[in-house]
């Protein structure tokens, strides 16, 4: 799938966003290394704190279907400047997706492109939990 098709999939997913509290709708489309695409949208709830972002919905859908290797993610929000993933999503995308390509877009156009390592340059991850000789 081309980058613009992945963005289009994220735009479609954004239509399902449930964001009555913030009114900030986000869509994501995550491509696995075998070319399968999982989409997600943000889902808010009345406690606010249990809200889940579009990116994590897409990643958890993919993981729960047995996928473990990922190539890139497109994220769409209705902002003129790029809307990059929040800190929690950067962490989850990194831990499960590694150095993904991150394509940001709005309804009209692509707004930016990054490698995830640019957005999360000094990550905490499982490698740090494997240190030998920890007391």
Q: What residues make contact with ligand THU under the rule CB under 6 A? A: 19, 22, 24, 26, 42, 44, 51, 53-55, 85-86, 89
Beta strands 101-105; 70-77: pairing state: parallel
Shortest Å, Cβ 60 to ligand THU: 13
Nearer to ligand THU, 42 or 111 (CB): 42
| Whether 55 is catalytic | yes
- Measured in degrees and rounded to the nearest 5, phi and psi for residue 106 equal -115, -165
Would you call 23 helix, strand, or coil by DSSP?
Answer: coil
Q: Which is nearer to ligand THU, 54 or 59 (CB)?
A: 54
Q: Which of 55, 65, 80, 101 is catalytic?
A: 55
Q: How far apart are CA 57 and CA 2, in angstroms?
A: 22
Tokens of 10: 């994220």
Identify any residues that bridge with 43 across adjacent strands, giving them in sequence order.
18, 52
In DSSP notation, 57-70 reads HHHHHHHHTT---E
Closer by beta carbon to ligand THU, 19 or else 71 = 19
**Least Å from the CB of residue 31 to ligand THU:** 17
20 or 66: CB nearest ligand THU: 20
What is the distance between the alpha carbons of residues 76 and 106, in angstroms, rounded to a whole number? 5
| Overall size of the chain counted in residues | 135
Least distance in angstroms from the C-beta of 42 to ligand THU? 3
Q: How far is the CB of 74 from ligand THU (least distance, A)?
A: 12
* Residues marked as catalytic: 55
């Amino acid at each position: 799938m081309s980058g613009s098709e992945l963005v289009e999939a994220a735009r479609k997913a954004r239509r399902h966003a449930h964001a009555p509290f913030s009114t900030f709708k986000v869509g994501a489309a995550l491509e696995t290394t075998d070319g399968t695409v999982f989409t997600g949208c943000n889902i808010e709830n009345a406690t606010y704190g249990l809200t889940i972002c579009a990116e994590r919905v897409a990643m958890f859908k993919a993981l729960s279907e047995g996928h473990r290797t990922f190539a890139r993610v497109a994220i769409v929000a209705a902002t003129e400047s790029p809307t990059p993933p929040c800190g929690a999503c950067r962490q989850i995308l990194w831990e499960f997706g590694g150095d993904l390509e991150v394509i940001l877009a709005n309804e009209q156009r692509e707004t930016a492109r990054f490698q995830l390592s640019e957005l999360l340059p000094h990550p905490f991850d499982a490698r740090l939990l494997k240190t030998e000789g920890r007391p």
